[in-house]
Amino acid sequence: MNPLAAAALAAGELVCDFGAARGEVLIYEALTEGSAQVLSLARPGRKPVQVRITPGHVHLIEPERSSVRVTTLTACTRTRTRAGALQCTQFAARHAWHFDTSALIDADASFRRQPSGASYGVCEPWNLD
């Protein structure tokens, strides 16, 4: 498993902010190697998410009929040392709504074809203790 994925899974829950321009805040809960739940401040209710771990990324894919919303963790941008171990406290992220479901088949290829309206942001562990 890549170090980015290991750090995200260790966090278990992530709060992702994609900027004031979009106003998109997402909370990913119960993060495991295969699934999670997402809460959006813009849409009611928890939604199931598929987690795809690739050599360089972690893709959190929310199917929505014939499209998907994808949050991709791309790097650890801030760390701290806790009990002698390095812990990621902030992840760089991109969020995009893809009007196809190809991310479910090849998440990295879908990420490379990201729509121009994709948002840049950060995700942080909900609880750092």
Predicted confidence at residue 94, as pLDDT, reads: 95
| Closest of 117, 2, 1 to residue 70, by C-alpha | 117
- What does the alpha-carbon distance between residue 59 and residue 49 come to, in Å, rounded to a whole number? 10
* The pLDDT value given to residue 21: 55
pLDDT score, position 41: 82
DSSP per residue, 17-64:
E--TTTT-EEEEES--SSEEEEEESSS-SEEEEEEEE-SS-EEEEEEE
CA dihedral for 77, 92, 62, 102, sign (positive or negative): negative
User: Per CATH, the architecture of 3-124 is what?
Assistant: Beta Barrel (2.40)
Q: What is the mean pLDDT of the chain?
A: 92
Write out pLDDT tens, residues 15-58. 999 976 566 899 999 999 999 999 988 888 999 999 999 999 99
Is this model's pTM higher than 0.95 or not?
A: no
Number of other residues whose CB lies within 10 A of the CB of residue 115: 9
DSSP 72-86: EEEEEEEEEEETTEE
What 3-state DSSP class applies to 125? strand
The winner for highest mean pLDDT among 37-46, 83-92, 104-113 is: 104-113
How do the domains of the chain map onto residue ranges?
3-124
